[in-house]
Structure 1
Amino acid sequence: MFKTSPMSAEVQLRWLGACYFFFFAILGVMVPYLGVFFESRGFNATEIGSLLAILMATRIIAPNLWAIVADKTGMRSELIKIGAGAGALTYLSFFHPGAFWYMVVSLTVYTFFWNAILAQLEVITLETLGDKPQRYGIIRSFGSLGYIVLVVAAGFAIGHWGPEVLPYIGMGLFAGMLAACLPLPANRVKLSRDTPKVKVKLAGPIGWFLLSAILLQMSAGPFYGFFVLYLKHAGYSEATAGLFVALGVIAEIVMFMLAPRLLGKYGIKPLLFISILFTAFRWLMMAWGVESLFWLSLSQLLHAFTFGLVHAASIQFIHQQFDVSRRSTGQALYASLSFGVGGALGTWACGLVYSHNPSLSWVLAAGFAFVAALLVLPLPGRRVETAAV
């Protein structure tokens, strides 16, 4: 594991916070507005759903390939740097207004390298924190801050200059991501040859957890793929839609601050169950209350549970269930099966339904979330221990 002095650990955590900021700032541009960007280039709802599904689908294979390299070689910060550099180069393809299959290839190549980053970032952060994993929420909140800043800024930029400004914003953020990760030390995880490697078992609690995570991300399909378009067709501007996204991220940041105490008091299982159940109700509000500022605002405030508390609990669950020799694999499995398989299936399926009946896609999402909540019930009820910060 990483062995650094308290001072060097604090410096490293600052750079990791910067990496989270730029990584999720890129998401803040790509996730809410990519649908609007593709629509401006003439793609229909089915094509947009298919293109957005690629963003999720590459998470099925790419993180696991990078995790194998990380666990075999001990390289983690190096993979983040490779992913950021190669991702920036391949992102240049967005500037060319290609047809559907051009964008398929462009998205596939760019996201293959981009997906090298997050799982390693999570592992390095938790290992740097050592016996204070409850500080994870504070470091991770820099990512939420990056997301909220760029969601709002990109919304106003698109409203002023049009969707074609998106590649320029994204390119600047990729440059920032590369600059933030370059100072990370190349501390490799050194394992003794005699260290037993625990075989990854997908049966039991891990299996139930991953199935629930897949269905939860399937339920987020219309939100990640069509939220801004849905609000635009309901009469809201892109800038207003960006403010609603920002409201959800503010709630998420607050939840990240509260998550350590909640996890220590109640444990992972009950908080996951309640949070996912709230998610089901949230999507129903989107289906039938989008024209009401009250219900739309409430649904966005529930993002604190849908993502904030769910993510904090999930990262802790994976960290507990996998030993040091398999932690990159564990984080990659979580990312690839939930955000990859679940996200791709959800975006694709909801894209098909959205093209016929936008409101019905949110009802389908609520059904996915309800089943995901039920799958949490077989998990063990172990609590997360909290230490003094």
Structure 2
Amino acid sequence: MAPSLAPFSLFLFAYYAQVGAFAIYATLFFAARGMSAPQIGVLMSLIQVMRIIGPNLWGWLADHSGQRVRVLRFTTAGALLAFSGMFFAETYVQFIAVMVAFNLFSSAQAPLAEALLLSALRGDASNYGRVRLWGSVGFIVAVLAAGWLLDWLGVNALPSIALFLLVCVAASGLLIVQAPALPHAQAAPGLWSVLRRREVIAFFVSAALMAGVHMSLNAFYSLYLEQAGYSKPVIGAMWALGVVAEVAFFYFQAPLLRRFGAQRVMMCAFAVAAVRFPLIGAAGQLLLVLALAQLLHAATFAAHLSSSVMVMQRWFAGPLQARGQALYMSLAYGIGGTVGGLLMSLCWDSIGPQSVFYLAGALAVGAAASAALSFRWQRAHALA
């Protein structure tokens, strides 16, 4: 890895470590502070809701000002300051205020860092995975370490652990340097002129559906395994297995994408997802099958994300870089994740836990159809 990319690896490691440490255990912390289950649900949903607002706000400011690094550093400082309120909040309304303020800043940091990274890669997004994998490594290291620390210190130590990691995020952001902008032969198109194109709309619909697919894991997988009778160490091991598979794909991403191309890799990810998630729903009592399904996380998450980043470079390079990454975060994980989570909650309550994963498989088929339309229209646009 080029030395200039090392600060991005460090930043993503720290950022996703903080995400893993806080998001995975926040429900336990809020419960210990007297919040009810519905209140905890609202507090956790604010993470997704603010992904709709935060990335677009800060992405617009970063692209409009051209000062992406300064905006990134401002959001790390803002997140650190806002999260400090967690030590003083006592009531439900106070916790809501802290979560809104904190996620307003923190939700923008990954898309801003990735926009800066893609600029540093000088258009060669095939090497994106070698840097992004450190985010996955940070996530799993923090989840395991925080679990051990909370077992030792108690769940009320979570804010202190998360605050330390936020300091690490802010410190690593100081090491990132903005790459000089590449010269463009013609002026960049306006954002709305890009978003109106039918192939772009179809791509974002597909991305939102795929984010909805993965809400079956993010929101319900641990509970599903627990109800199936698996112990917490087994549940943790299953999560770890999926992240290890994800890291492996990111490491070998460049040669795979160069050989097969973004379209084939993405369509393969949809096909695997259409099999993986119904398999989880049907094989709840078969640990070996569940383990094999977790290995498929390499395709359904890592391969889809990597190929999506490459596809977006066709529309959101240069001056639109930060807003493109922000839109992906907002439309896919913000709107897609929120709607997908709500639909799956209804299925869980009215039909049963297995139905969540059957619905995820159906959404994957819908995502594949929308992506196929996008690629078809991209070819038609290129020939026009």
With over 3 angstroms needed to count, the CA separation of the structure-2 counterparts of 1:190 and 1:276, relative to structure 1, is closer
With over 3 angstroms needed to count, the CA separation of the structure-2 counterparts of 1:145 and 1:112, relative to structure 1, is same
With over 3 angstroms needed to count, the CA separation of the structure-2 counterparts of 1:135 and 1:370, relative to structure 1, is same
Instruction: State TM-score, norm by structure 2.
Output: 0.88
Aligned positions of 1:1-389 closer than 5 A: 10-41=2-33, 43=35, 46-96=38-88, 98-130=90-122, 132-185=124-177, 189=181, 195-198=187-190, 199-356=193-350, 357-380=352-375
Query: Which region of structure 1 is more displaced relative to structure 2, 284-293 or 21-30?
Result: 284-293
Identity among equivalent positions (%) equals 29
| d(CA) in 1 for partners of 2:66, 2:342 | 35
With over 3 angstroms needed to count, the CA separation of the structure-2 counterparts of 1:83 and 1:309, relative to structure 1, is same
Q: Is the 8 A contact 1:155 1:242 kept in 2?
A: no
Any stretches of 5+ residues in structure 1 without a counterpart?
Answer: 1-8, 384-389
Regions of 4+ moved over 6 Å: 190-194
| d(CA) in 1 for partners of 2:131, 2:119 | 13
With over 3 angstroms needed to count, the CA separation of the structure-2 counterparts of 1:182 and 1:82, relative to structure 1, is same
| d(CA) in 2 for partners of 1:45, 1:141 | 34
Q: Once the 2 structures are TM-superposed, how far is the Cα of residue 206 of structure 1 from its aligned partner?
A: 1.1
Q: Is the 8 A contact 1:263 1:271 kept in 2?
A: yes
With over 3 angstroms needed to count, the CA separation of the structure-2 counterparts of 1:249 and 1:52, relative to structure 1, is same
With over 3 angstroms needed to count, the CA separation of the structure-2 counterparts of 1:221 and 1:132, relative to structure 1, is closer
Q: Once the 2 structures are TM-superposed, how far is the Cα of residue 74 of structure 1 from its aligned partner?
A: 0.4
| Matching residue's letter, 1:283 | F
How many residue pairs get matched? 375
| Matching residue's letter, 1:177 | V
| d(CA) in 1 for partners of 2:29, 2:234 | 17
Any stretches of 5+ residues in structure 2 without a counterpart?
Answer: 380-384
Root-mean-square deviation (CA, aligned residues, Å) is 2.7
Q: Is the 8 A contact 2:182 2:318 kept in 1?
A: no
Residue 252 of structure 2 aligns to a residue whose secondary structure is helix
Q: Is the 8 A contact 2:73 2:170 kept in 1?
A: yes
Q: Is the 8 A contact 1:90 1:109 kept in 2?
A: yes
Larger fraction in helix: 2
| d(CA) in 1 for partners of 2:265, 2:188 | 33
Q: Is the 8 A contact 1:62 1:116 kept in 2?
A: yes
Q: Once the 2 structures are TM-superposed, how far is the Cα of residue 57 of structure 1 from its aligned partner?
A: 1.3
| d(CA) in 1 for partners of 2:188, 2:264 | 33
With over 3 angstroms needed to count, the CA separation of the structure-2 counterparts of 1:289 and 1:196, relative to structure 1, is closer
| Residues 272-325 of structure 1, C-alpha deviations (whole Å, 9 max, x = no match) | 122123223222233232332212211211110121111111111111222412
| Matching residue's letter, 1:118 | A
With over 3 angstroms needed to count, the CA separation of the structure-2 counterparts of 1:29 and 1:337, relative to structure 1, is same
